[in-house]
Amino acid sequence: MTRVLIVEDDPKTAKEIMAALSDHGFAVDSAGTGREGVLKAAAESYDAIVLDRMLPGGLDGLGMLATLRSAGIETPVLILSALSGVDERVRGLRAGGDDYLTKPFDFLELTARLDVLLRRRSSAPQRETMLRVGALEMDLLTHTVSHAGKPVELLPREFRLLECLMRHAGQVVTRTMLFEEVWNYHYVEPTNVIDVHIGKLRRKLDPDGSRPIIETVRGAGYILRAAG
Amino acid sequence: MRLADLRRTTSFRLAVLFLLLFGVATTLLCSFIFMQTRNYLDRRAEEVLREELFPFRGLNAAELHQLLAAHVAMDPHARRPITLFGPDGAYLAGSQLGSSHFQIMAEPADRPFAFTLQRDGQSVQFRGVALTYPGGQRLLVAQDMAGAQAFRGLLLDSTLWGGLATVVLGLIGAVAAGVGAVRHIDRITRAVRGIVRGDLSGRLPTRGHVRELDQLAHEINFMLGEIERLMEEVKGVCDNVAHDLRTPLTRLLAGLERARRRAASVDEYEAAVDEAMQEIRGLLKTFAAMLRIAEVESGARRAGFTAVDLTQVGADVVEFYEPMAEQKGVALGISDGASVPMQGDPSLLFEALSNLVDNALKFTPSGGRIDVRVFSDDGGQGFEVSDTGPGIPAEQRDAVQRRFYRAEQSRHTPGSGLGLALVSGVAGLHDMRVRIEDAKPGCRIALVGPRGLQG
C-alpha cells in the first residue's frame, strides 16, 4: 500500500487531507511540525510527502525539505502553500520540491498530482517509441495514432494532449495539469477551453460515440481508461 | 501673519541680500565716478591755468602792466585773479586779492597749488600757478574753484539721494515679495489642512508669486489627483467585492437551506453539495483573480521576466481558442508576422491575450470574426484583438479596466469583471498601454509597448 506523510500544522486541514488521501487508497501518517516531519520521514519509508510551506517552530517547510534532501532522502515531495506567486513556486521547486500546489485546492487535484509523482518514481523514464492503452496505439516516432486498428488524424496539439492522457492512463489528469504539460504556460483558469479541446479529441477518437475512452471526472479533469 | 514670519521668508531674505550687494556695488561705482570726475576737473583747471600763464612769459614790464590792467578791467571781481608780486611778496599790479595775507613766495613755481582767500566773510578756494620773472618778481594766475566745488557737491548729493531711493525701493520690494510668499504659504497650508481633514478633491493654489512654488504645487496636485483616483478605485473595489461576493454567498446559503428543508434522498443531497461546491469554486476563482491582479500590480513578477516571442504567444492563444471559436461559429484568425521579441512573463502575456480573446468570443455573435494581430512598427510593439461584437462605448473605455466593472449590458454574461483589470495590470507590468478603439463595427483592444526596448 502506498504510504504518504502529511506535514501540516493546522489539525483541521491535516484531517481533511488525510481523509481525502485515505479515500483515494493511501495509508496516511501526519506530522505537525517540521522537526517531527524530518524524524518521521527519516525513520520510516514513505512513497511521498505532502508538505505545508508554513510550519510553526524553527523549521519551516522549505527548511525541512532542505534537511531531508541533504540527508539523502529523495522521497517525492508535493509542497502546499498559500503563497501563490510564481517566484514562490520556483523557490519551492528549487528547494527540492517535486510539485507545488496553491491553497485552496481541490483534493482531486492533490491526488491526481500525487499519482503522477508516484508513477514517475516507480517507472524510471524510458525512451518509449510506442504508447498503448487498450485499443489505442500511439507511435511517438511517426506521430501516428490508431484506435482499434483504424488510423486517427490528429493536429499536433491534439497529439500532445492524447499523449499526456495516455502516459497517465488510468489516472485522473486535471485540466491545470493538462494545460501546463501541453501548452507550457502556468495559468490558473483555462478550464472550459480545455473541455472543448478534449471534446474535439473525443470525436476524432470515437466518431460514432460507441466506445468512449476519455472519461470526465466532475469538477476536476479527465481519465483515459483502457476500455475494450 | 507676523513680522517675524516675514523676516524668515526666503523671498524677503533674498531681496535684502540682493539689496545689500547692490548697495555695495553702487557705492563702489559712485565713488569711482566721483574720484574720476574730481581728478578730471582738477587737471582740466590746471591746464587752463597753464595756458593762461603762457602769454605772460618773456614780457617786458610795460607790456606786463598793460596786460594786467586789461585783465583787471575784464575781471573786476577777481574770479580769475592775475596778480604780480614783488620779490618781497608785496602786491605790485593786477587783480586785488583782498585783505588776506598771502605768501606767494612760499609756493613753488610752475606747479599748481591750492589756496584759500577770505571774500565777503567767506572762504573761497582757489587754484593757482606762479611764474617767476628774472627780476625776482612773481606772477600768480589763479582760478576761483567755487564752480567745481558746487559741481562736486551736486554729484555727492545726487549719489546719496539715489542710494537712499534704491534702499527704500529695495526694502519695499523685499517686504512685498516676503508678504506674497507668506500669503502663498498660508494659502497652501489652508489647502493642505482641508485635504488632511478628508476633502480629497481639494487642490493646492498654483497662482502665487513664486514660480518654483507653483511648479511644486502643480506636481503635488497631480499626485493628489492620482491618490484621489486610487482611493476611489479602492472604495469602488470594496463596494464591488462586497456586492459580488454577497450574491454567490446568498445563493450558496439558499441552496443549502433548500437541501436541508426538502432533500429526501442521498442523490438530492449530493446534488445540493455539488451545487454548493460549484459556488465556492466560483468564489475562490474570484479571490484568486483578485490576488493575481494585486501580485501583477505589485511588480514582483518582473523578477521572472525572460525572453518572449509575442508572435509565438499570439499563435498559442489563437490555437488554444480555435476549437471554442469554431464551436461558436466565429472565425478566429491571426495575421502572419515576423517574430516580435521582448522581455516579459510568457504566462502572464498568454493570460492577458487569452482574456482579450475570451472577452471577444463572449461578445461576438455567431458569424462574426475575431482577428489577432501581433505588430512591431514605429508606433511601438504589442498585440491587438479586434472583433465584430457590439464594441465598448467611448465613455466606458476607462471604466472597463477597473476591477469588477461590468457594463450594464454584460451583467448577465458569466465572468468576474476582473478580466480587463488583469489585462491592464499585465500591460502595466510590461510597460505597455491598453488602447481601446472602435473597430467599426466592434471593438479593438491593443496592448502597446515601446518598441525593441528589451530587444
Q: Is B324 in contact with A86 (Cβ distance < 8 A)?
A: no
pLDDT (average), residues B347-351: 88
* The C-alpha cell that represents A177 in the structure block: 495539469
| Band of pLDDT at residue B411, cut at 50, 70 and 90 | very low
Q: Cβ contacts of residue B137 below 8 Å, gap of 6+?
A: B84, B85, B86, B87, B92
CA distance B217 to chain A (A): 39
Q: Identify the CATH number of the domain defined by range B302-449.
A: 3.30.565.10
Q: Which of A85, A106, A193 lies nearest to residue B321, judging by beta carbons?
A: A193
Q: Which residue of A has its CA nearest to B312?
A: A183
Residue B56 pLDDT greater than 50, yes or no: yes
pLDDT at B406: 55
C-alpha–C-alpha distance, residues B229 and B400, integer Å: 15
| Band of pLDDT at residue B104, cut at 50, 70 and 90 | low
Residue B414 pLDDT greater than 60, yes or no: no
Q: Which of B284, B292, B303 lies nearest to residue A104, judging by beta carbons?
A: B284
Residue A143 pLDDT greater than 80, yes or no: yes
What is each CA distance from B408 to B57, B363, B396, B400, B435, in whole angstroms?
Answer: 119, 13, 10, 11, 21
Q: Whole-number mean pLDDT of chain B? A: 81
C-alpha–C-alpha distance, residues B189 and B212, integer Å: 16
The domain limits of chain B are 1-199, 231-297, 302-449
ipTM of the modeled complex: 0.78
pLDDT at A7: 93
Q: Identify the CATH number of the domain defined by range B231-297.
A: 1.10.287
Q: Which of A104, A186, A192 lies nearest to residue B347, judging by beta carbons?
A: A186
Q: Which residue of B has its CA nearest to A194?
A: B320
Strand partners, A80: A52, A101
Q: Which of A85, A186, A189 lies nearest to residue B300, judging by beta carbons?
A: A85
Q: Is B288 in contact with A87 (Cβ distance < 8 A)?
A: no
Kindly state whether B321 is in contact with chain A, defined as any CB-CB distance less than 8 angstroms: yes
pLDDT (average), residues A169-196: 82
| Band of pLDDT at residue A122, cut at 50, 70 and 90 | low
Kindly state whether B383 is in contact with chain A, defined as any CB-CB distance less than 8 angstroms: no
Per CATH, B1-199 and B302-449 having the same topology is answered no
pLDDT at B296: 80
**Chain A window 167-196: which residues touch B at a Cβ cutoff of 8 Å?**
183, 185-190, 192-193, 196
DSSP symbol at B365: P
pLDDT at A5: 94
Contact B6/B179 with Cβ under 8 angstroms? yes
Q: What is the pLDDT of residues A50-106, one digit of tens each?
A: 999 888 878 888 889 998 888 888 899 999 988 766 677 788 888 888 988 888 888
User: Is omega for the bond preceding A207 within 30 degrees of 0, making it cis?
Assistant: no
C-alpha–C-alpha distance, residues B441 and B368, integer Å: 10
pLDDT at A86: 67
Percent above pLDDT 70 for chain B: 91
Q: Which residue of B has its CA nearest to A104?
A: B284
Query: So what CATH class is A3-122?
Result: alpha beta
Contact A111/A24 with Cβ under 8 angstroms? yes
| Band of pLDDT at residue A191, cut at 50, 70 and 90 | low
**Residue type, position B138, single letter:** R
Q: Cβ contacts of residue B92 below 8 Å, gap of 6+?
A: B83, B84, B85, B86, B137
Strand partners, A143: none
C-alpha–C-alpha distance, residues B324 and B424, integer Å: 24
CA dihedral for B265, B267, B270, B274, sign (positive or negative): negative
Residue B318 pLDDT greater than 60, yes or no: yes
**Chain A window 99-138: which residues touch B at a Cβ cutoff of 8 Å?**
104, 106
CA angle (B151, B157, B161) in 5-degree steps:
145
Q: Which long-range contacts (CB under 8 A, 24 or more apart) does A183-192 make?
A: A183/A157, A183/B316, A183/B320, A183/B350, A185/B316, A185/B346, A185/B347, A185/B350, A185/B351, A186/A86, A186/A89, A186/B347, A187/B347, A187/B350, A187/B351, A187/B354, A188/B288, A188/B292, A189/B285, A189/B288, A189/B289, A190/B320, A190/B354, A192/B324
pLDDT (average), residues B346-371: 88
- Select the CATH number that applies to the domain covering A130-224 from these four: 3.10.450.50, 2.40.50.100, 2.70.98.60, 1.10.10.10: 1.10.10.10
Kindly state whether A199 is in contact with chain B, defined as any CB-CB distance less than 8 angstroms: yes
pLDDT at B454: 43
pLDDT at A8: 92
In DSSP notation, B112-155 reads -EEEEEEETTEEEEEEEEEEE-TTS-EEEEEEE-HHHHHHHHHH
Q: Which of B285, B291, B319 lies nearest to residue A189, judging by beta carbons?
A: B285
Q: Is A90 in contact with B295 (Cβ distance < 8 A)?
A: no
- The answer as to CATH 3.30.450.160 being correct for domain B1-199 is yes
What is each CA distance from B199 to A139, B203, B237, B238, B297, in whole angstroms?
Answer: 71, 9, 20, 20, 27
User: Within chain B, what is the greatest distance between any pair of CA atoms?
Assistant: 164
**Mutate: best of B277, B284, B320, partner A, most A CBs <10 A:** B320
Q: Is B350 in contact with A185 (Cβ distance < 8 A)?
A: yes
- Could you give the residue range(s) of every CATH 1.10.10.10 domain in chain A? 130-224
CA dihedral B388, B390, B394, B397 (to 10 degrees): -80
Q: What is the pLDDT of residues A18-34, one digit of tens each?
A: 999 999 899 999 998 88
pLDDT (average), residues B60-76: 84
Q: Residue B62 burial by CB count (10 A; 0-12/13-18/19+): exposed, middle or buried?
A: exposed
Q: Is A85 in contact with B301 (Cβ distance < 8 A)?
A: yes
User: How many Å from the N-terminal Cα to the C-terminal Cα in chain A?
Assistant: 28
pLDDT (average), residues A110-134: 79
* Closest alpha carbon to B423 in B240, B288, B297: B297
Q: Is B347 in contact with A188 (Cβ distance < 8 A)?
A: no
Q: What is the pLDDT of residues B275-302, one digit of tens each?
A: 898 888 888 878 877 877 887 877 777 7
Q: Is B347 in contact with A185 (Cβ distance < 8 A)?
A: yes
Q: Is A199 in contact with B323 (Cβ distance < 8 A)?
A: yes
Residue B229 pLDDT greater than 90, yes or no: no
Strand partners, B309: B341
pLDDT (average), residues B83-97: 81
Q: Which residues of B touch A190 (CB under 8 A)?
A: 320, 354
Q: Which residue of A has its CA nearest to B347?
A: A185
- Listed in order, strand segments (DSSP E) in B228-305 are none
Residue B167 pLDDT greater than 60, yes or no: yes
- Could you give the residue range(s) of every CATH 3.40.50.2300 domain in chain A? 3-122
Q: Residue B113 burial by CB count (10 A; 0-12/13-18/19+): exposed, middle or buried?
A: middle
Q: What is the pLDDT of residues B142-154, one digit of tens each?
A: 888 877 778 888 8
**Residue type, position B350, single letter:** F
Q: Spell B340-351 as b/e; 16+ CB within 10 A means b.
A: bbbebbbbbbbb
CA distance A193 to chain B (A): 7
Of B264 and A121, the structure prediction assigns the larger pLDDT to: B264
pLDDT at B257: 92
pLDDT at A228: 46
In DSSP notation, B49-116 reads HHHHHGGGTT--HHHHHHHHHHHHHH-TT-SS-EEEE-TTS-EEEES---SS---GGGSPTTS-EEEE
Percent above pLDDT 90 for chain A: 20
Residue B408 pLDDT greater than 60, yes or no: no
Strand partners, B373: B384
pLDDT (average), residues B106-131: 78
Q: Which residues of B touch A16 (CB under 8 A)?
A: none
Q: How many inter-chain contacts (A to B, CB under 8 Å) are there? A: 57
